[in-house]
Amino acid sequence: MKSKKEWETKSLEWIHKVREEIDEEIKRKGMTPTQWVKARGKVDIKELCKKMDLKNITIIEPKLSPRLRKIQTR
């Protein structure tokens, strides 16, 4: 139980740190959060897992309906 609480604490600290860095970047660039997200583009999940040294991860591609697939390709 102790290790679970320790992990949760470290995870929350990391999340808050990342959020502060994102907020600082948004302020520096003078953007709204929505503009910042759109400017970042898509996230390459496989590359992110590789950078974080996550090896036993199965990435499941979302199944899009034909209608959504058509919208996404525009």
pLDDT in tens, 14-64: 889 989 999 999 999 999 998 988 888 777 888 888 888 888 888 887 776
Q: Is the model's pLDDT at 73 over the cut of 60?
A: no
Give the pLDDT score at 59: 81
* C-alpha separations of 5 from 2, 10, 18, 19, 44 in Å: 5, 9, 20, 21, 30
Which residue segment(s) compose the domain that 29 sits in?
2-72
Domain count across the chain: 1
pTM: 0.51
Q: Is the model's pLDDT at 4 over the cut of 80?
A: no
